């Protein structure tokens, strides 16, 4: 079924409900897909005893509403807009990925801007799950303009050939020796995530905004500001290490290792447990700097509003001299969330 231009597998949802004997379900959707969640609830109402909609934040498959579903005794979760993230779901979960049915905006944007990619020779190509169905069309179009596009195989948490997430690009990074640059289909956000981990030129294509452009200047600006925040954190006396309880972001072990490393370097830090990492809560917590073990992109996207350093684990290692800036920045380790 098509809802708002997205393919919604309603029949698959009905079969899943039957096979798993689901009577109460929690439907979870990110901002932008909440109306689809409501429409889906209408479609499924005759197949279930109770349907509840999750009204909290949700930015990725990492953020599965297990605690909320358990609190209302739901038998399972219907999670919209993301592919499966966790290797094992704590509750029966069906991921309705909401893929885009029409490749029109994607191809139109590519055609309008193809001159930017001509001459690239061979590129690595990735897309968020919404646009994955159209990757072959993109490859074909690029091929007609003498650009050959390579995709990487799935590797957890990525479930599909060519898929990227804002925090997961490993298959593309492995192609580094074979390509002259990368094209990421999704948004500026998704392109930036890869650009922080490679020195190759990066282009992003946003079909919703019909925009395609390079990101290298923005990445350089961003890295200069990251360097500044690492320097600022060196002077902080009160450091909080953030742990989120979201199932796909929970890294208590990483936080404890970081705490020990900081103590060995003569710094004191406390572990701060959160659900959503909200900037107001951070500013109110009394710390002068943070190390973020939750979603790595919080350190990039929310840094401006927090104002206090919100370092990635690798940046914390640079701060205490356990790693070197030039070894980490624009390399595959940069967004890694373990130490």
Which residues of the shown chain bind ligand SF4 in the complex (CB under 6 A)?
59-60, 62, 165-167, 248-249, 295, 297
Q: At its nearest, how many Å lie between ligand SF4 and the CB of residue 324?
A: 25
Nearer to ligand SF4, 43 or 275 (CB): 275
Nearer to ligand SF4, 103 or 247 (CB): 247
Q: At its nearest, how many Å lie between ligand SF4 and the CB of residue 298?
A: 7
Nearer to ligand SF4, 44 or 254 (CB): 254
Please state the φ and ψ torsions of residue 315, each to the nearest 5 degrees.
-70, -35
Nearer to ligand SF4, 165 or 258 (CB): 165
The Cβ of residue 113 has, within 10 Å, a number of other Cβ atoms equal to 15
Nearer to ligand SF4, 236 or 314 (CB): 314
Dist CA 79 CA 63 (whole Å): 10
Residue corresponding to tokens 């790595």 = 296
Number of H helices, E strands in the chain: 14, 16
DSSP code at position 71: H
Q: At its nearest, how many Å lie between ligand SF4 and the CB of residue 268?
A: 28
Dist CA 304 CA 285 (whole Å): 17
143's enclosing H/E stretch is: helix 135-144
Q: At its nearest, how many Å lie between ligand SF4 and the CB of residue 157?
A: 7
Cβ–Cβ under 8 Å, residues 262 and 268: yes
Q: At its nearest, how many Å lie between ligand SF4 and the CB of residue 88?
A: 17
Cβ–Cβ under 8 Å, residues 183 and 205: yes
């Amino acid at each position: 079924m098509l809802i708002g231009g997205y393919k919604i597998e309603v029949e698959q949802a009905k079969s899943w409900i039957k096979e798993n004997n689901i009577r109460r379900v929690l439907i979870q959707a990110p901002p932008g897909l909440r109306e689809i969640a409501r429409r889906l609830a209408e479609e499924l109402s005759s197949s279930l005893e109770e349907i509840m909609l999750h009204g909290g934040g949700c930015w990725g498959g990492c953020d599965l509403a297990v605690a909320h579903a358990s609190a209302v005794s739901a038998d399972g979760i219907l999670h919209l807009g993301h592919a499966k993230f966790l290797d094992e779901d704590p509750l029966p979960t069906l991921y309705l990925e909401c893929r885009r049915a029409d490749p029109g905006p994607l191809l139109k944007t590519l055609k309008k801007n193809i001159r930017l990619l001509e001459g690239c020779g061979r590129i690595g190509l990735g897309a968020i799950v919404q646009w994955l169905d159209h990757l072959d069309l993109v490859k074909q179009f690029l091929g007609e303009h003498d650009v050959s596009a390579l995709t990487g195989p799935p590797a957890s948490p990525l479930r599909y050939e060519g898929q990227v997430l804002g925090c997961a690009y490993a298959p593309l990074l492995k192609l580094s020796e074979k390509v002259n640059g990368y094209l990421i289909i999704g948004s500026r956000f998704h392109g930036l995530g890869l650009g922080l981990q490679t020195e190759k030129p990066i282009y992003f294509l946003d079909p919703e905004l019909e925009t395609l452009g390079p990101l290298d200047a923005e990445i350089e600006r961003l890295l200069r500001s990251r360097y500044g925040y690492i320097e600022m954190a060196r002077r902080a006396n009160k450091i909080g290490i953030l742990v989120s309880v979201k199932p796909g972001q929970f890294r208590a072990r990483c936080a404890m290792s970081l705490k020990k490393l900081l103590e060995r370097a003569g710094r004191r830090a406390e572990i701060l447990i959160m659900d959503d990492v909200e900037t107001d809560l951070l500013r109110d917590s009394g710390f002068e700097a943070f190390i973020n073990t939750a979603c790595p992109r919080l350190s990039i996207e929310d840094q401006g509003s927090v104002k206090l350093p919100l370092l990635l684990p690798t940046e914390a290692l640079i701060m205490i001299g356990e790693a070197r800036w030039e070894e980490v920045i624009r390399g595959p380790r940069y967004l890694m969330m373990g130490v």
